Amino acid sequence: MASGNAIRGSRVGAGPMGEAERGESAPRLRISFWCSNGHETQPSFASDAQVPETWDCPRCGFPAGQDEDNPPAPPRTEPYKTHLAYVRERRSDADGEAILAEALAKLRGEI
């Protein structure tokens, strides 16, 4: 059953807020940014604010710049490396064989 309360779901003091209540808004600039996928985004900035060099594209997440013909390159993503892959970068197969032989000799009690 519905009650006869007409203001259900609103809070006290809620009402239309206009320019008279909150003051005048700051003058704004809309700046265009383009990403490497050709997406354009136009965030607005206060006219006296410092505009950043790059902006993240809300569609693909790539960095976007103000030059449409020369947008920033997308970030290079490195594939996930395992611990073994990092060890193989630091050590050669000969180093690995020497370390293994030393560890086996230690286990056997030869050292």
What is the CATH classification number for the domain harbouring 32?
A: 2.20.28.270
Instruction: Give per-residue pLDDT as tens, 57-70.
Output: 999 999 999 999 99
Give pTM, 2 decimals: 0.54
**Residue 2 counted as domain residue:** no
Q: Is residue 57 a known part of a binding site?
A: yes
Main-chain phi, psi angles of 54, to 5 degrees: -125, 160
The three-state secondary structure class of 19 is helix
pLDDT score of 78: 84
- What percentage of residues in the chain have a pLDDT greater than 90? 54
In a domain, 9, yes or no: no
Asked if residue 70 belongs to a domain, the reply is no
In-domain check, residue 50: yes
Residue 60 assigned as binding residue: yes
Position 3 in a domain: no
Q: Is the residue at 20 inside a domain? A: no
* Domain span including residue 45: 28-65
The answer on whether 26 is annotated among ligand-binding residues is no
Mean pLDDT taken over the chain? 85
- At residue 105, what are phi and psi to the nearest 5 degrees? -65, -35
15-49 pLDDT per residue, tens = 665 556 667 778 999 999 999 999 999 999 999 99
